[in-house]
Chains A and B, each alone.
Chain A
Amino acid sequence: MHELTVAIQIRRGLETELASDEGTLVADVVRVQVGALSGIVPEALQFAWPHAVADSATLGSARLDIDWVDVQLLCVACNDVYTLTEFRSLRCPHCRSPDVEIIAGDELDIASVDVRERARDLS
């Protein structure tokens, strides 16, 4: 698995997004959305996180909050949405129609970050 790659990409993505504030902000919480179809194992990502941000001034002490997203299929035939605890098939779990749409579960997104201004030496 490539959870370390993913953790490093979260760091790089946030560094890009926060670039204009570099060095002045401290992040306390980083929230990501991970869908069940992403192939990512949340525990492994959690384990990799501190290694990926260890030397980052902004993210070094941030907690990673992983929002796990179950797969949701919209069945066109039933005109209903089904939440799957485990994905096995791109067919409607109710009527078996293949005319379904994945409306959740393929996320691998950065969602938000809690930041505060770095406490500065005012002397």
Chain B
Amino acid sequence: MCTDCGCGERPADPHGHDHLHDHDHPHGHDHPHDHDRDDQVRQHDRDGTLTIRRRILQDNDDLAAQLRVEFARQNVYVVNVVSSPGSGKTELLQRTMAELRPDVRVAAVTGDLATENDAKRLGTAGAPVRQILTGTMCHLEADMVADAIADWDLAGIDVLFIENVGNMVCPSGFDLGEDLRVMLVATTEGEDKPLKYPTLTLTADVAVISKIDLAEPVECDVDLLASNLDEVRPGIEVIRTSAKRGDGIDRWLDLLRTRMVAKAAAPVG
């Protein structure tokens, strides 16, 4: 059941970003609006408890749903990449964009509290890239993405990568209209990271273990890390990569290509 509105529907994925069914129920705030001239009566009628049915992040969810429809219409596959600061999001995306670029039209937006450095790194492959500066905001929201891509012709983009602000907690609640939410965990972060941040693990569609080349020097047990991901989210697809050395990149690119094709083949709407 959808715990949000009790409407009996529930998305297959536990995270909110598949909530495409209509939540626009009347909100139950149906106290009398007949503006009675007798103030005493009106006061009596209007005092009391009003039931409100509204998600706190509903504005974000609504905009994300609009973005998702637009992305589907224009056939843009959208990937939201989330991790702790420094897990290797930019490194992975830089490599991914360079490898896809000959035959796939890629673009990226990247969110950081400050500096344009990540946009510069992602732009080296020559694709359109926008930096979103969030100031104090610890995550991206749908309106920031909408603003960042407002003057782009989506018809000219096959894949849009969104690099979220480095943060393991906050981005998980904010749908950006993406098709795929990818969680990165570096071998340098410890095997129990997925257990410490179960909410993000729960909202991810795919997990990428990054910096495999560093597993040995930091004595990371990669199998344990992978099984911890699977413990929180049974069945989650886990890809082991090194963006520096190239391990696992083919598998990652295959996954992206397969999902893109599947989306393109799916009926819009």
Residue of A nearest to B173 (CB): A39
Taking the complex as formed, is B195 at the interface, i.e. its CB lies under 8 A from any CB of chain A?
yes
By CB atoms of chain A within 10 A, which of B1, B49, B59 has the most?
A: B49
A93 CB, nearest partner CB in chain B, Å: 12
Residue of B nearest to A117 (CB): B43
B202 contacts A90, C-beta separation under 8 Å: yes
B48 contacts A114, C-beta separation under 8 Å: yes
A13 to B50, CA, bound (A): 14
A88 contacts B232, C-beta separation under 8 Å: yes
A13 contacts B58, C-beta separation under 8 Å: yes
Selected from B14, B27, B46, B52, the residue in CB contact (under 8 A) with A21 is B46
Taking the complex as formed, is B139 at the interface, i.e. its CB lies under 8 A from any CB of chain A?
yes
B54 contacts A98, C-beta separation under 8 Å: no
A110 to B39, CA, bound (A): 29
List which A78-116 residues lie within 8 A (CB) of chain B.
Answer: 87-91, 98, 101-116
Selected from A10, A38, A98, the residue in CB contact (under 8 A) with B234 is A98
A1 CB, nearest partner CB in chain B, Å: 6
B181 CB, nearest partner CB in chain A, Å: 14
Residues of chain B at interface, number, CB under 8 A: 45
B234 contacts A17, C-beta separation under 8 Å: no
B207 CB, nearest partner CB in chain A, Å: 13
Taking the complex as formed, is B263 at the interface, i.e. its CB lies under 8 A from any CB of chain A?
no
Taking the complex as formed, is A14 at the interface, i.e. its CB lies under 8 A from any CB of chain B?
yes
A107 to B235, CA, bound (A): 24
A107 to B205, CA, bound (A): 20
Residue of A nearest to B235 (CB): A98
A106 CB, nearest partner CB in chain B, Å: 7
List which A25-43 residues lie within 8 A (CB) of chain B.
Answer: 25, 32, 35, 37-39
> B interface vs A, CB < 8 Å?
1, 3-4, 10, 14-16, 27, 29, 33, 39, 42-43, 46-60, 137-139, 141, 169-170, 172-173, 195, 198-199, 202, 231-235
List 7 A-B residue pairs with CB atoms under 8 Å apart, sorted by A's residue number: A1-B170, A2-B138, A17-B27, A18-B29, A107-B4, A109-B54, A114-B48
User: Which A-B residue pairs are the 3 nearest by beta carbons?
Assistant: A98-B234, A117-B43, A116-B47
